[in-house]
Each structure stands twice: as C-alpha cells, then as structure tokens.
Structure 1
Amino acid sequence: MLSGARKIVSACWRPVRRYVRMNRDDSADDDHRFSDDALLWSRDLERHFLGEFSFAVVQANEVIEDHSQVETGRAATFIGVYDGHGGPEASRFIADNLFVHLMRLARDGGTMSEDLLKNAISATENGFLSLVRRTYAIKPVIAAIGSCCLVGIIWGGTLYVANLGDSRAVVGSLGHSKKIIAEQLTKEHNASVEEVRQELRSMHPDDSHIVVMKQGVWRIKGIIQVSRSIGDAYLKRPEFSLDPSFPRFHIPEPIRRPVLTAEPSLSTRVLQPNDRFLIFASDGLWEHMTNEEAVEIVYNNPRAGSAKRLINKALKEAARKGHMRYEDLKKVDKGNRRCCHDDITVAVVYLDHELLSEKIAVPELSIQGFVDTTGPSKFSILQEKI
C-alpha cells in the first residue's frame, strides 16, 4: 500500500515554480495557516445588497479553465460559475458576455424571469458558436472547447437559477429544530446520472453508442460526461466535426443531430427568512464533499473566508485520497496538480433578509474570480436609455 501511495505522490509531484499571486487575501481567520497556497485566490468577505459574500478559486490546470463573477447591484446580485473544458475560451467568453445579455434583456423588459435567463444563455451560446465559425479554419480545436454554466440572480427577494452541466447551487436553510439543512437547487447534466443516460437514449434511439462506459466512467460518445454546455460545437453541428488528427475529439461517424444541447435547467425560489446562505460551486468542490458537509462548514464557522474554507476542506480531502499530505499537495505546480484535483470555484452568498426593507446602498461592482479584476458592475445597463 505504501508503494502505491508513493506512485501517486510521484505522479503529482514536480518542482514548485513560485510566482506572484494576484491577490493574497491575508485577513486573519481560523484558516490563516492555509494562506500560502500560491494557486488559491480569494475575497474573504464583500458586501451585496442582501448581505455579504465570500468568493474563492483554486487553480489545478496549466491554464485555469474556471471563470466566474459576482456582480453587485442596488437591488440585485448576480453569481456566475463557468467550468470550462478543452480550454478556457468558452468559459471566458461566457464571463464576458452572458451577464451583459441578461442586463440588456432586463432593461428592455423591465423585470427578471426564467425566460430572460434562458434567452441570455441562448444569446451567449449563439455568440460563441459564431466565434467558432469565424476561427475554425485557423484553429479547428476551438470546436472542441466548451463550458458548463451555472448562474443565479437575486432580484429583490427572488432567486432565479439556470444551469448547464454539473456545477451545483445549494441553499442552506434553518429547519424547525434550528439545524441547518442543505437543499440542492440545480439538476446535474452528467452521464453518471441514470436519468441523464435515459434521456440521451430516448433522444437518440438509433445510436447505440450515445453513452459508453469508458475507463469506469459513463461518457457521451465515449468522450464527454456533461450532456449540456455552451460550446462543444463538434458535438452540436456536423460542419464542426474534427478529423482523426484530433483523436481525443474525433467521432468515427458524423453526428445526425446535436449530441449536446445548450438548454438550461431553470428554477425560481422566493427566498424565505430561514434561507441563510447560498453556495454556488463548480463540480471540483462537490466531488470531495456532500451538500450537507458544505452547509455545515459554512454555518458553523465565521463568514469571513467561508468560500476559501470550503476549498481548503476539498483540497485536504483530495490529498487524503491521493495518499499525500496537504502541505505536499500545495507544493504541486499548476498542470501537474490536475491529477490531484480540478479547478475549483466557490461563491458563498449570505442572505440577511432584514436588509430588503432597509435599502442600504452598496457599491455596484463586478468581481471576476482568480483573474482578480474589479470594476463597475454592468448593472448600470439597466439605467441606460433605450
């Protein structure tokens, strides 16, 4: 067993290349001892119109494929988690465009709804496929780049959520016994879920290889696990199919109809006084902890650094599974670290319901995770003249 542990550690271990961290958040909390992870970015506690939020991202890939944002408005808050695959281009495109589409639609309609979220996602998908079409001839691999997409917007006292892929939104609510309860708000579109496999088979009755078990994992066409995404044009449009020079993404027979879709799962929740916080996170978090474990950690610890605390817990579990010390995991460089864990994005949004009537002014800011950019929020589009 010790020999196996050494092999796993050896596979992950490489000399650590230190670089300047974009934002080292050194505010004091119980987890200050974890602040030396050069690949971990965090905002320990910021304000939004209905309370506070904590935001953190850790990188595993050579180029980070998770992009994310929190937008704070006068009476609304937007959270977006975009877990890319094949490259960062699709997740970056979503971060740059989806919220802008949503605000323009809300401005024109004067309100928020599930339909607006769906239409904003559709506009983003069409925009990225147009980018693929323009660049396919010089960079064909862009057809194999895609992203999961989890978004939520608190509009007044109502939460609207849309999801494509296997990121997850969870609400922590107080039950009758004052015990914190986890409720998952999103459906996961992943071939590991029996319901998803049945859906795919019913949509493709003439394709016996629509879902295939490969290396112990259910995959669509033997390639990808998620059934809904933005991008992945080669699995949606036959004109973007890739030839055998791209063996990882090559399908022997041209697709007859889209294998993946960009149709989101949608839900609406009128927030209740017992709803205490929301957790939005990419699947890199959930493969190392349950919904219940996550809400317990958030509820039983200080607000400051709660997102970072969840990531630290996931990393410690990843190290344990890899038969290595957490201190050693932190020394594994980006790229090599992917064999230990995925990029992980977490946003914890606290809900202080009494603020709904107080209308306390907060800065309208746009914060993008890990790249650590902060600027004016595009909620300002709502005030533009039509």
Structure 2
Amino acid sequence: MFSWLARIMSACLRPVRRYARMSKDDFDDSSTIEDALLWTKDLEKHSCGEFSFAVVQANEVIEDHSQVETSPEATFIGVYDGHGGPEASRFISDHLFLHLMRIARENGTISEDILKSAVSATEDGFLTLVRRTCGIKPLIAAIGSCCLVGIIWKGTLYVANLGDSRAVIGCVGKSNKIIAEQLTREHNASMEEVRRELRSLHPEDSQIVVMKHGTWRIKGIIQVSRSIGDAYLKRPEFSLDPSFPRFHLPEPIGRPVLTSEPSVCTRVLQPTDKFLIFASDGLWEHMTNQEAAEIVYNNPRTGAAKRLLTAALIEAARKREMRYKDLKNVEKGIRRFFHDDITIVVVFIDHELLGEKMSVPELSIRGFIDTVGPSNFTIIRNME
C-alpha cells in the first residue's frame, strides 16, 4: 500500500516547468519519446475519405473499446467507454455492429430506428450475460459502458449516443474558418438539463441525484444516466448486497434509474462538413469542441487523432505541473490519476467520393487491441 502511494507521489512531484498554453516545442518534445500506453492508426481509407484513430490507456485494464468498420458503401464508427470493468465495452464491440447489420438487412435500410434496435439488442444480450454469470461474479451487475456509434451511408450520417462520449462535426464557415458543431447530447448528471430530466422522471425520489465528493451523481453512485449494462441500477433482481458498499443502494430500486435509450440524430452531409471527431469523454475533459476542431483543421490529416490525443495529454500533464515526457513514464493504473482512458476517431469527409464506388477493403479495426480482420458490411450492398 505504501509503495503504491509512494509511486503516485513520485510521479506527481517530479521537477517540472509550469506553462500556461501548448506551444510547438511541447508537441516536438512529446514526439521524441514513445508512449508505451498509446496506440494509433495514422491514416486509413473509408467509404468517403480517410480516418485517423488513436487510443491511450490509463486504467490497469483498459476499459475503452472501439472499432471502425469499412466498406466501399459505408463506414461505421463505435466508441465504448466502459466503467467498473471492460466487460460491457468489450461486449458492445463484439455485438452491436453485428446486430446493426442483421437488423438493417431484415429491414432493407439504415435509419434512426434501426440504430435504436441494434442498441436495444446489445443491451438485452449483455443483461442476459449478467443473469447467467452474476451467481459466480456478482460485480458484473455493476459493470457498464457508454456507447457512441455512427454510420455513414448514402451521404447521410446516423448517430446514436448513450452516456458522455461526444461526436463533433467540423464545418467550414465564413472566411474559410472551421466551426465545431456538437452532434450528440450527453447524459451526465453534472449537466443541469440531465438532473431536471431525472427529477421529472422520479418525482417520488428525493435522492435520485445527489452531490457526493463534489460531483453530482445518480443515487450518489454514478454520473452517466444512460448506458449499456449497470444492471443493478435497472433491474431489482440485480441489486448488490451490502458487502459491496461502493454499489450499495440504501433501498432497492422500484424501477430503473438508468436507461439504455440512446439519443439519436441524422445529418445529410453537406459540402461544408469536413470531418467528424468521435471521442470518449477523456478528450473533452481537456479541450473544447472548437479547440479540437482547429487542431484537426489546421494540421495535416496523417496522425490527426494522435495529434488531438497528444494535445489532451499535454494539457492533462500541465494540470499536474508536469511535462508530457514525464507523464509517459507513469505506468498504467497509476496513470488514471492523471487522465482517463481516451479514444479518438477522426473521420475526414471527401464529398466528391460520396456515392462513388470506392476501392475500400471491408475491414474491422479494433482500437488499442490492434485487431484488423474482415468486416460484415457486404450485406448492405444491395439495400435501397
């Protein structure tokens, strides 16, 4: 225990230089030493352009899972920010896209309702897994994940979101300046709108949201109000007993306090829409939508996601009066005291390619675990 605390203190108290903003030297310095916890794909092809992918691990076991699925006709992006463990985010990565393709094939199209159905099928599947295994692993009932997915098909972007990951689109405005537009609604109790929603849904429960450890939390436990999993906050049968005090509810829930209903949106892509940023909340803790959009827009495409991630890590280090080169020496697990697991996918949109038959392989690329294999996109080839 004491050696663990000593390592944290050592990491925090290394002699460092305070600085107020990121400079070119910061980026140059950060590129000279490899970060063993960083994984990237600098630039790959998708159905209407190119994409860049980057992930950094902070937890002892990474809880972010993510994927990009490519084909000549469509592109799928998924970012799954787990909490309590990696099981839910990994389950989503293994099942949601397959559900989406199956339901799309059955209905002959892609739509917001199809996305919702795929999310619902994934939730049902994970709760079935919880039911089968909670006898031997009761804490699986307290494992969940945020879920942000998007699919580009026939010039239209469809997005579904649960939790506090975020999708942002970069659009060119007047004077050729980039404008960041947030596409998704976040479901986090830190937002007044979410607290109002929860109180209106649970008027009988004065403790539906409470301030604990300086943060608004649902039932004093969790910040996100929508997720896949977190079965103990959705079904009374999965309530955890007092031997797990971190997840103990003062009284059993009468009805769900969390939901798996996603917020969805559709956008017909316009010539001024230049790129998308899909990222877990670990990125947005350290920069604004506009700052992220400007970093992407004002630099080369190659390595765009890594560049964003580096900027976030430089800022995370600065908040602890460190340099990123020192933060790189902090090992996983302890690294979580400095930043979260972070996943970023930057998707560039080349409008001249929309609707064209592209020479794009059907690939499934999984973030951080560095798995590349065949995708299942062929089934939508003939859909109207």
Shorter-chain TM range is over 0.9
Letter aligned with residue 125 of structure 1? E
* Cα distance, 1:11 vs structure 2: 3.3
Distance 1:346 1:70 in 2: 11
Q: Secondary structure at the match of 1:111?
A: coil
Distance 2:146 2:35 in 1: 26
Letter aligned with residue 309 of structure 2? I
Q: CA contact under 8 A between 1:166 and 1:226: conserved in structure 2?
A: yes
Alpha-carbon displacement from aligned partner over 1:227-252 (angstroms, at most 9, x marks no partner): 00000000000110001111110101
Equivalence for 1:232: 230
Equivalence for 1:63: 61
Distance 1:81 1:70 in 2: 9
Equivalence for 1:330: 328
Distance 1:348 1:380 in 2: 24
The gaps in structure 2 that reach 5 residues or longer are: 13-26
Q: Secondary structure at the match of 2:339?
A: coil
Equivalence for 1:39: 37
Q: CA contact under 8 A between 2:29 and 2:325: conserved in structure 1?
A: no
* Cα distance, 1:382 vs structure 2: 3.6
Scaled by the length of structure 1, the TM-score of the pair is 0.92
**Is the counterpart of residue 220 in structure 1 residue 218 in structure 2?**
yes
Alpha-carbon displacement from aligned partner over 1:61-105 (angstroms, at most 9, x marks no partner): 000000000000121000000000000000000000000000011
Equivalence for 2:110: 112
Q: Secondary structure at the match of 2:354?
A: helix
Distance 2:45 2:334 in 1: 35
Equivalence for 1:369: 367
Specify which of 235, 243, 246 is matched with residue 244 of structure 2.
246
Q: Secondary structure at the match of 1:311?
A: helix
Scaled by the length of structure 2, the TM-score of the pair is 0.92
1:1-386 matched pairs, under 5 angstroms:
10-11=8-9, 13=11, 33=31, 36-382=34-380
Distance 2:102 2:230 in 1: 26
Letter aligned with residue 123 of structure 1? A
The 3 A distance-change label for structure 1 pair 169 and 34 is farther
Q: Secondary structure at the match of 1:341?
A: coil
Letter aligned with residue 335 of structure 1? G
Q: CA contact under 8 A between 2:73 and 2:381: conserved in structure 1?
A: no
* Cα distance, 1:36 vs structure 2: 0.2
Q: CA contact under 8 A between 1:288 and 1:314: conserved in structure 2?
A: yes
Distance 2:342 2:54 in 1: 8
Alpha-carbon displacement from aligned partner over 1:132-177 (angstroms, at most 9, x marks no partner): 0000100000000000000000011000000000000000000022
Q: CA contact under 8 A between 1:148 and 1:165: conserved in structure 2?
A: yes
Distance 2:67 2:172 in 1: 27
Distance 1:260 1:358 in 2: 42
Letter aligned with residue 272 of structure 2? N
* Cα distance, 1:293 vs structure 2: 0.1
Tell me how many residue pairs correspond in the alignment: 365
* Cα distance, 1:302 vs structure 2: 0.5
Q: CA contact under 8 A between 2:146 and 2:163: conserved in structure 1?
A: yes
Q: Secondary structure at the match of 1:255?
A: coil
Return 242-251 or 353-362, whichever deviates more.
353-362
Q: Secondary structure at the match of 1:177?
A: helix
Equivalence for 2:24: none
Equivalence for 2:21: none
Letter aligned with residue 343 of structure 1? D
Letter aligned with residue 379 of structure 1? F
Q: CA contact under 8 A between 1:8 and 1:323: conserved in structure 2?
A: no
Distance 2:266 2:222 in 1: 29
The 3 A distance-change label for structure 1 pair 379 and 32 is farther
Letter aligned with residue 238 of structure 1? P
* Cα distance, 1:110 vs structure 2: 1.3
Distance 1:8 1:317 in 2: 24
* Cα distance, 1:380 vs structure 2: 2.9
Distance 1:362 1:119 in 2: 27
Letter aligned with residue 239 of structure 2? S
Distance 2:10 2:45 in 1: 38
CA RMSD of aligned residues (A): 1.9
* Cα distance, 1:10 vs structure 2: 4.1
Letter aligned with residue 81 of structure 1? V
Distance 1:65 1:227 in 2: 18
